Amino acid sequence: MRYFKDTEDKVYAYDETLSFFDPLIEKAIAAHWEEITGHWPPTETQEQAKERLTPALGSAINDGAMQWGYDSIISAVSYAISANPQYVKEAQALGKWRDEVWAWGIPALDVVTPGETAGQFLSDMPELPPKP
């Protein structure tokens, strides 16, 4: 990809391996747009990585509850006051697991590496326990 910034600081990307972009690349050069290939896209900061991965952590917790047949972790833990003893056990187990995940995740988010994928980040997350 080649990246160009026009006079209004808008960035355009052109795939130089596709010939139909050639006229656009030539036009950008002729217009004296600044080529910023190698500097674009900007490097993600640690804070941006943290903001990007925080929802992934919440989604992983909800996914765990869904594996047990609940709509979400909120739905699952609401059964803690159920009259059904099995639902209470499940709600307590999922609530404990949710707490463990957040106890692990909050410090992990503070040291996440920019560019780290959600899969890489979540690979160390506490595992979902077996259903009681």
Provide the residue ranges of all domains of the chain, joining segments of one domain with +.
2-35, 46-122
Tell me: the pLDDT tens digits for 20-44? 999 999 999 999 999 999 888 788 8
Tokens 């972009």 sit on residue: 21
Strand partners for 13? 3
19: CB partners within 8 A, 6+ apart: none
- How many Cα atoms within 13 Å fall on the side-chain side of residue 102? 11
* pTM metric for this prediction: 0.71
- Whether 64 and 99 have beta carbons less than 8 Å apart is answered as no
Whether 111 shows a pLDDT value over 90: the answer reads: yes
**14 φ, ψ (degrees, to nearest 5):** -130, 130
Residue 40: per-residue pLDDT = 80
127: CB partners within 8 A, 6+ apart: none
Tell me: the pLDDT tens digits for 66-92? 999 999 999 999 999 999 999 999 999
Compute and round to an integer the Cα radius of gyration of the chain: 23
Residue 39: per-residue pLDDT = 82
First to last CA, the chain: 52
